[in-house]
């Protein structure tokens, strides 16, 4: 089954404790992206990757890091989480550029609480 898998689904942590949220897709997609969802703000892009070893900042990258060492994996790293990073996070992937190829498929989400 074609899917985007995120782990964990729920995470409670404390300020300053490094954490990683994993994302994996089995569709051989080139493009992967991380979003955060906050009430009234919709989905805002954190980082994206157009291929292996190619990553770039989205609209709200501060406090986050990513890496793309393999095509299927795109982990989101919070080196020193803060309470304002409490949010619902989504990973998404798509085939790549061009009409129709850029339809993004989403994971089920990771709800993060930073105390």
Q: Does the footprint of another protein cover residue 113 (CB under 8 A)?
A: no
- Nearest-approach distance from CB 68 to another protein, in angstroms: 13
- Nearest-approach distance from CB 11 to another protein, in angstroms: 15
- Asked if 78 and 17 touch (Cβ cutoff 8 Å), the reply is no
When binding is defined by CB under 8 A, the residue of 15, 70, 96, 115 that contacts another protein is: 96
Q: Does the footprint of another protein cover residue 75 (CB under 8 A)?
A: no
The whole-angstrom separation of Cα 93 and Cα 4 is 7
Residues 20-49, one symbol each (x = binds another protein by CB under 8 A, - = not), give: -----------x-x-x----xxxxxx--x-
């Amino acid at each position: 089954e074609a899917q985007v898998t995120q782990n964990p689904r729920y995470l409670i942590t404390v300020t300053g404790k490094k954490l990683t949220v994993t994302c994996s897709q089995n569709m051989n997609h080139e493009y992967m992206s991380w979003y955060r969802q906050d009430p009234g703000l919709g989905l805002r892009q954190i980082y994206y990757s157009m291929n292996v070893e190619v990553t770039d900042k989205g609209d709200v990258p501060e406090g986050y890091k990513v890496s793309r060492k393999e095509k299927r994996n795109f982990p989101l790293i919070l080196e020193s989480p803060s309470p304002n990073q409490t949010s619902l996070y989504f990973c998404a992937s798509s085939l790549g550029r061009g009409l129709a190829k850029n339809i993004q498929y989403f994971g089920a989400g990771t709800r993060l609480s930073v105390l």
